A and B are shown apart, each in its own frame.
Chain A
Amino acid sequence: GQNIDQPTEMTATEGAIVQINCTYQTSGFNGLFWYQQHAGEAPTFLSYNVLDGLEEKGRFSSFLSRSKGYSYLLLKELQMKDSASYLCAVRTGGYNKLIFGAGTRLAVHP
């Protein structure tokens, strides 16, 4: 079967660091994506990992361990505008199909 798990909700304080975990069990693997989705808006691409290790992009970093079926998204220096849902998605094969987790809703408080 295909399964992607991530926490439903998280809260954090402005200026802090938060790590959102994602574990996956899929029949194939051809890359892992993180998307950000503000309430009522379209998901927007944040990061992509296909090889093990850390990818850093400004305040956001994403890590992948293929052997463990595990990824995390790290958000540093949190801002109020980072309050959103964060979606983990695995590309499993051809046609660029993605399987999505249910998303993690992050609330950033002052």
Chain B
Amino acid sequence: DVKVTQSSRYLVKRTGEKVFLECVQDMDHENMFWYRQDPGLGLRLIYFSYDVKMKEKGDIPEGYSVSREKKERFSLILESASTNQTSMYLCASSLASGTSRAYNEQFFGPGTRLTVL
């Protein structure tokens, strides 16, 4: 079974703090993704990575950065947290595109609910 774990289920930070959200997957997946999920807006892609040290912006990258130094770990960084970054953050992973697996779905972690005060 694929397992995607996130470092915290709940996190409370103050405005201006630097915040690290960690995600680890144990199935040797090439692709990893960070989303935020807000009521009425669904999941929106922040950043993704298709290989170690490779990253691409998603739809809402402003205010965020990422790091992927090892294949199994993908970190999301909020350089200076703001109240509008209060949200549920979900990490996901998948095999690379073009694999033999027909649907190649993304597997999600349990999420981190971040509150910025």
Contact = CB atoms under 8 A, between A and B. Distances in A.
B31 A42 contact: no
Nearest to B109: A42
A7 to B, nearest CB: 12
Contacts of B43: 43, 87, 89, 98, 100
B90 to A, nearest CB: 7
Contacts, number: 59
A45 B110 contact: no
A96 B106 contact: yes
B104 A102 contact: no
Nearest to B97: A96
Nearest to A46: B105
The winner among A43, A89, A99, A100 for most chain B CB atoms within 10 A is: A43
B19 interface: no
Given A42-B90, A42-B111, A95-B97, A101 B42 contact: yes
B96 interface: yes
18 contacts: A31-B103, A40-B111, A42-B4, A42-B108, A43-B108, A48-B103, A50-B103, A94-B97, A95-B48, A95-B56, A96-B95, A96-B97, A97-B48, A98-B45, A100-B42, A100-B44, A102-B40, A102-B41
Interface of B: 4, 31, 33, 35, 40-45, 48, 50, 56, 58, 90, 94-97, 102-111
Interface of A: 8, 31, 33, 40-45, 48, 50, 87, 89, 94-103
The 4 closest A-B pairs by CB, nearest first: A48-B103, A102-B42, A42-B108, A100-B43
